[in-house]
Amino acid sequence: MRHALHVLAAALLCACQSWRPVESFDGWTLYAHEDVQADPKPWGDAYEPAHEVVESLFGPFERGVRVHVLQEDAPTPLGDSAVQMVPGIGAARVRAWHTRGDGLFTPPSGVYAGTPDAGTAAHELVHARLAEIDPHLPLWFEEGLACVVGDGILHQGKWIVDGYSCWPVHELRNERLDDDELRKLLRVRAERDTDARDNVLVHFIGWAIVFDLFRMEGGLRYHEWRARYKDGIELREARERLNRSISPDIEAAWLQRLQHADPRVRLAASKGVWKLQSRDALEALVDRLELEQDPEVKASLAVNALSAAGETRSGRDLARRMWRQVSPALRTLELSDPAETKALRDLYRSFRWNADISTRQALEGLKRFWSE
């Protein structure tokens, strides 16, 4: 499974291509190239809830937002290919970006995205809103806010924010940034270009610092934090917050949310947990699977447990317990979206010896549960 990368782009795309409006929504408009067929329905399903959440946290947009549908394999701000090899981190797919360009020779400002995904939408719309109210923030702060708000799950037309993002946790644990590198990354400003590796790392450290604030101060307090951090953050404070966010204690505390009374919280907490590559996380998923009654939450737990087992050395007992829960879940769960129900059955079939479908193909239809 590839990781999704969102970059904040300076205006690098050619402005000469023409965009036509596909459909207007409340507060934003969908655009595509003349020769591209874009179905507005899935874009509306992803961007409407994201737009609502971003306005509730950062205030209403002053202007309509443009959302541009990218063609597959369109050049990205980090290079010609959508998949970038990031040194020390691996393959990352540049999934979307936001650009502020408003000049005559720059592409229109707005969001550029290849697929309609609600998490990507929430992330990019944070950039779009911050471009209106605060275009000169430290990049870690802006990316951190976007990453926290962009982590969650779509549930019955609402974007449920979770905030604990498993990819940066895993990578920052392995990365062990020294003080010089951390200091350098903290100094990057939103308006400056960065290379792929720095860009990814700024997302990670930004997430870790803002997630710590989000957790410690019980919510997203943009205006207070902006007053504190608009000119930067002390290295010591950044290090302290970062270390806390990637610590095993916080992992354990956040996995407790799998037991939360509200199924939406459990659902959002389970999504992406496989990325931690941690045995504790796999065990927490299996423990919850044994109790879970909500079909949607159960599906998410099963998909993440299965993926986690592929990434983690779990031992035979845990693997057996996992499969005892996952197998019937894939075979029998009925979800409200028939396409997801079918993907569960396909996933089950993909494990049979004469499978006519690959596990990877089947997982595509269950992206809502595993892809951060």
Residue ranges in contact with Zn ion by CB under 5 A: 6, 8, 143, 146
> What is the C-alpha to C-alpha distance for residues 326 and 301, in angstroms, rounded to an integer?
8
**Closer by beta carbon to Zn ion, 125 or else 146:** 146
Which amino acid makes up residue 61?
A: F
**Closer by beta carbon to Zn ion, 194 or else 300:** 194
Look-up of token digits 């979800």: 335
Report in angstroms how near the CB of residue 123 gets to Zn ion at its nearest.
6
DSSP 191-207: TS---HHHHHHHHHHHH
Q: In this chain, which residue has its C-beta nearest to Zn ion? A: 6
Structure tokens at 325: 């829960």
Report in angstroms how near the CB of residue 99 gets to Zn ion at its nearest.
11
Task: Give Cα separations from 339 to 91, 150, 302, 343 (angstroms).
Answer: 28, 24, 17, 6
Report in angstroms how near the CB of residue 11 gets to Zn ion at its nearest.
15
**Closer by beta carbon to Zn ion, 67 or else 146:** 146
**How close are the terminal C-alpha atoms of the chain, in Å?**
11
DSSP 40-62: HHHHHHHHHHHHHHHHHHH---S
**Closer by beta carbon to Zn ion, 6 or else 66:** 6
Residue 139 phi/psi, 5-degree rounding, is: -60, -35
**Closer by beta carbon to Zn ion, 94 or else 153:** 94
Under DSSP, is residue 278 helix (H, G, I), strand (E, B) or coil?
coil
Report in angstroms how near the CB of residue 113 gets to Zn ion at its nearest.
12
Residue 176: exposure state from Cβ atoms within 10 A (0-12, 13-18, ≥19): exposed
**Closer by beta carbon to Zn ion, 126 or else 330:** 126
**Closer by beta carbon to Zn ion, 202 or else 330:** 202
SS3 sequence of 294-344: CHHHHHHHHHHHHHHHHHCCCCHHHHHHHHHHHHHHHHHCCCCCHHHHHHH
Cβ atoms of 120 and 102 within 8 Å: the answer is: no
Report in angstroms how near the CB of residue 167 gets to Zn ion at its nearest.
13
Report in angstroms how near the CB of residue 143 gets to Zn ion at its nearest.
5
Report in angstroms how near the CB of residue 8 gets to Zn ion at its nearest.
5
Report in angstroms how near the CB of residue 112 gets to Zn ion at its nearest.
12
**Closer by beta carbon to Zn ion, 124 or else 346:** 124
